[in-house]
A = this chain, B = another copy of it.
Amino acid sequence: MSEHGSNGEVQLENEHFRVTKWTIEPGGVIPMHRHDYEYVVVPLVTGTMHVTNADGTEIAAELVTGTSYTRPAGQEHQVENRGTQDAIVFVEVERLS
């Protein structure tokens, strides 16, 4: 776990995909970052994730276990777990090249 209370474990990477399992502990954050590639998120838990975009807008994303979504490249945001009990866990599948 990083100093931010989050951790990204790269599960596989080849010329097609990079797959990372992310864990955000309660109170933790994945600091501001930019997505260079299209990606799919597969939530492994049900819970609320707070997303703050680089332009200052904010949304509460309601994750549901096994219910995937996709986002285009170019997203720039930080992602927080403002909960107090349960970790947020999801798998991110990036489409490389």
Residues on A facing B (Cβ under 8 Å): 11-12, 14, 16-17, 19, 21, 38, 40, 42, 44, 65-70, 89, 91, 93, 95
- Stoichiometry (number of copies): 2
How far apart are A87's CB and chain B's nearest CB, in angstroms? 12
* B-chain residues with CB within 8 Å of residue A66 when the two chains form the complex: 21, 44, 89, 91
Secondary structure type dominating chain A contacts = strand
- Which residues of B lie under 8 Å from residue A21 when comparing CB positions? 66-68
Contact B12 A38 (CB under 8 A): no
Asked if residues B68 and A19 are in contact (CB atoms below 8 Å), the reply is: yes
- B65 with A38: CB separation less than 8 A: no
Asked if A40 meets B17 with Cβ closer than 8 Å, knowing A93-B93, A95-B95, the reply is yes
Contacts A12-B70, A69-B12; is A91 near B42 (CB within 8 Å)? Answer: yes
Contact among B14, B70, B93 for A42, CB-based, below 8 A: B93
| Chain B positions within 8 Å of A93 at CB level | 17, 40, 42, 68, 93
